[in-house]
Amino acid sequence: MPNIAIVSSLSMLIVQVQRAIKLQANKVEIFSHTALDAIPQDTDLIYFGLNNDGHDGESIEYLHQRLVQTPIIVLITENKIEYAIRAIRCGACDVVYISGDPVNDNVEIANSVYRGLRVRQNKVVVRQTLAEKTCDAFPFDVNRGESGGFLNQMQQAVVIIDQSAKVISFNRAAEKLIGDDDELGLQGKDISAILNLSEQDKEKIFVQGESHRGELRIRHEDQDITIGYAISPRYSINGHLDGAMMLFKDITEDKHLRFQAEKAEKMQTLGEIAAAISHEVKNPLAGIKSMVQAMMYDLEPESDNYHYTQRILQEVDRINTFIEDTFAFARHRRQYLVKVEISSIVNAVVSLLTENLKENQIQVEKQFEPELPAVKVDPDQIHQVFLNILMNAIEAIKEQPSAERRNPPFIKVMARKTSMRINHVLTPFVETLFEDSGPGIPESAFEKVFDPFFTTKPSGTGLGLSICYKIIREHHGELDLKNAVAGGAIVSVKLPVVPPNRFSK
């Protein structure tokens, strides 16, 4: 006996429709518009009562996505073509006009049931055919967890999952990416535990047959990578839900490039705003300063008015310094690239800060990997970046409570060879790491730390790291921050050994 659902508010008209369907030996149940999730997966046909305002499109779309195999027939009580068009566009396969004439309506309902069940039958046959072809194309040994044939030839990582969310098969690409060790093995594991799926997610995937997408951070070959995955329902030969199939790939580089592009676009926009503000404020500020200085000539140095105007002048200078920093962030300085050793720039900056380091009893440890290649950079700009990073480290240690400060406080500067993929080509870089023994960076600040005007310091302008980030990006390098496991912050500056136009087309 076919199972048929009616979605509508209870009325005499709907009761008449229910009676007409029952006359053809069908099982019928009425559901309200707010109980769409209660409709069983094995429902053969759905009648959807459209409101007179015609705004039920989202509900029809939801049912069409949730119950792909179940045809939807829309009931309308006003003979308007726009209602019918909207229903078909949202996923309905048929529209029936209920006129209020019992005889005519019963005939229309009977014919629509016949048409709907034929559509349902065709859908099931197509699903069975696809399931048979899928089984032929993707044979696997459930006991051994090995997929064969075409599935193993795919470069895309594929995992086959049963209805209890257990992994029963995977191809070589999946094993290579995730591995099959004891820590994060696949065979026989509950995929919901690996992907941190909630009970609600599991029900939608393995009971309701809905698709699911997400991301997962794992450790792979001593590196943290991000995996993007998509889970789709898997059906048996007889058309019943029989688990799921998961496709996934490493999206670490794609995500990083997307983040860098968004950050660069944001920095450019803020730079343009900063340039406009600097120009509009700097000129009147110069006028204010000149007038204040002229007033001070007519005042007695010991008078209160003289001290008040002197305070005004100090505040004007402070604003002017902020404007200068803003303008420095906004303008594009021409680079004078020369080949230099990173160690020479580090040594120069540390030498400049010698007194500051001694005053705060901070020890500096330098480690340079042997035979480091030279980098082609603007030495003055990279000097500015390193100076800003070290000054931030000194201030962080200085402001740390004595009880929390490590003895002795330290800053480690390390330079080493590394490589990064540029346009899918492995390219040599030199990475300079600055590690301090300070309190580290608050988790809430990580996403904003390079944003212009964001600062955690009471008297900071929030432009130091923004300018550093801009300089390193203009050198086609990367600037990253993270917290050390033992405490403190680690700043990484990566600079290409050869300018990018030499290795990218």
Residue 504 — very low, low, confident or very high, per pLDDT cuts 50/70/90? Answer: very low
**Cα dist from 179 to 34, 148, 194, 315, whole Å:** 44, 17, 13, 62
- What is the second-level CATH architecture of the domain 255-330? Orthogonal Bundle (1.10)
Say how far apart CA 20 and CA 28 lie, in whole Å: 10
Mean local confidence (pLDDT), 392-410:
85
Domain boundaries, the chain: 3-135, 140-250, 255-330, 338-502
pLDDT surpasses 50 at 355: yes
For position 390, what pLDDT does the model report?
Answer: 93
The residue among 26 and 246 whose pLDDT is bigger is 246
The residue among 330 and 26 whose pLDDT is bigger is 26
pLDDT surpasses 90 at 222: no
**Cα dist from 323 to 216, 389, 403, whole Å:** 43, 21, 38
For position 83, what pLDDT does the model report?
Answer: 84
The residue among 124 and 203 whose pLDDT is bigger is 203
Q: What percentage of the chain has pLDDT greater than the value 90?
A: 16
Say how far apart CA 282 and CA 168 lie, in whole Å: 68
Say how far apart CA 117 and CA 70 lie, in whole Å: 9
Q: Assign domain 3-135 one CATH number from 3.10.20.30, 3.40.50.1220, 2.40.30.270, 3.40.50.2300.
A: 3.40.50.2300
Please, what is the average pLDDT of the chain? 81
Rounded to two decimals, the pTM is 0.46
pLDDT digits (tens, 9 = 90+) for 168-197: 888 888 877 776 444 445 677 888 888 888
For position 168, what pLDDT does the model report?
Answer: 84
pLDDT digits (tens, 9 = 90+) for 415-457: 999 988 776 678 899 999 999 998 888 877 777 777 766 676 6
pLDDT surpasses 90 at 149: no
- What is the second-level CATH architecture of the domain 338-502? 2-Layer Sandwich (3.30)
The answer to whether 243 and 142 have CB atoms below 8 angstroms apart is no
Reduce the secondary structure of 215-263 to three states and give it as a string.
Answer: EEEEEECCEEEEEEEEEEEEECCCCCEEEEEEEEEECHHHHHHHHHHHH
The candidate with the shortest Cα–Cα distance to 157, out of 169, 166, 143, 144, is: 169
Residue 267 — very low, low, confident or very high, per pLDDT cuts 50/70/90? Answer: low
Q: Which residue has the tokens 């008078």?
A: 303
What string of DSSP letters covers 405-441?
S-SS-EEEEEEEEEEEEETTEEEEEEEEEEEESS---
The answer to whether 362 and 391 have CB atoms below 8 angstroms apart is no
Axis crossing angle, helix 252-297 with helix 304-330, rounded to the nearest 10: 150
pLDDT digits (tens, 9 = 90+) for 194-215: 888 888 888 888 888 888 888 8
For position 147, what pLDDT does the model report?
Answer: 47
Residue 132 — very low, low, confident or very high, per pLDDT cuts 50/70/90? Answer: low
The candidate with the shortest Cα–Cα distance to 202, out of 246, 164, 259, is: 164
For position 453, what pLDDT does the model report?
Answer: 65
Mean local confidence (pLDDT), 127-153:
53
Most confident listed range (11-15, 53-57, 72-76, 295-299): 72-76
Axis crossing angle, helix 464-474 with helix 379-398, rounded to the nearest 10: 150
Mean local confidence (pLDDT), 54-64:
80
Say how far apart CA 246 and CA 232 lie, in whole Å: 6
The answer to whether 99 and 76 have CB atoms below 8 angstroms apart is no
Question: Class of 140-250 per CATH?
Answer: alpha beta
